[in-house]
Chain A
């Protein structure tokens, strides 16, 4: 009986204390009707200013504490500082030509051109089981064999008992189907190679890579990935001898061209010794069966910034024929080899004039104007 009384006493004291806590909680933390608590963390948690005056919380929508920094024109200094930072970053970017930007390990999009971003798909008839179709690229040359993989994932805690016994893959476009390929593997991963003959059996264009899973419960399930098949309209076949021309390293490139056009040739230059990324190169070239060569260039400002005198390796090719008129489809090209060796020169072989981007000055002025607030 005494224990029971003590418990009741403790419960009572706790309840009173809790009520007091609720009562003394800053009234300003109560939101006006319709306010979004999720958007205002200070509204669901009493907030003090920077001096740590606990309990002196401003309400949602109330003015900020007096220590906030404002400019006289009413613009927050932080916004100005940020715009100034952006202007500085932009000016730094503009030091390098569009045709040879410095390449860094965090430039994912440049290091993975035309990437297929895999989509993990839940299966309607196998709860807890997901499948992902993985290919090297979204844009695929129909003349090359293409590795394909199907990865399976079982969501933890779902108690999913269904497994996959067999996976087959085919290409499908507008009612046309390629031959069926059975993937090797078991458990969580199945893989194989889609032969070029299969890729050529459907027309170029957007195509579904369909993977059919035979489940241990006797059912079947399909997942797919969309790819874009192309017939190369230009093919990089050879790089010529590199040379220094003023501030540029010049790389002659030769192509086989089956459809004339205005091509954008992009590739990544790496340091051959350490395989460190150096520069993302782009060149706009007018190519035709009669005019089959063009020049890729790397400005010394980029090579010096990366301290990369070479020799180099050029790879990750992304060759597109730009649409001549709005509404035209983009065409694509390929490279005869996965990578090409590129000779380098000592960095003092290049002249020292800085690169001037004629298009950047006005844009930089605009950003600076935003930073200045005028």
Chain B
């Protein structure tokens, strides 16, 4: 099975406190630690496991600048066979549809049976996978937390729905699936693994290589524009307990007692 996984380089929210810059034009990016989007990492692991079971190859692709190459290498160190970097100044400022349009153009240059994305990334929009499938006119399922290969034309998949229930469906190939965290346990990537793929060539494709008009993507093509970042005026918020940890513990115990929190 030929599998393509779409990944994104994002600020690692487990490692960073996200702060809006003084002008509200962006978040403070100076000291941010970046990594591969957590959901995408599960998608790559799933792709590798499927390939190891039924054969084929795994390609990882991203839309980004030259810094994004490091996450492609990381995912190749996990076991992906190939990486493709889609990079062009014309891609800057793309909205969800713009990213999906760029990915579609690259996908149509190859032949893929299965396309995976993470269920969502740093902006929480959870949109590119569904848009991509609609552009390619192939079926889509979001929030997938189980994939069984029935045959070379059909998958049996589980979607995570409300209440922790799982919705089981059959879906025809080719298709796009967005992967929910917890579907597997992504393997650890050591520094040695990354060294092994350090010199593998990663092709860089721009508008001309994939045959799309610059004005159809990027900020020129975007109908949805983020105009600023801000921190909403704080609500009532929590009453913060302060003092020595001894004092805080005593205050908290009193509060818990009064609210029925200690039996």
Does chain A bind chain B?
A: no
B residues within 8 Å of A by Cβ?
A: none
A residues within 8 Å of B by Cβ?
A: none
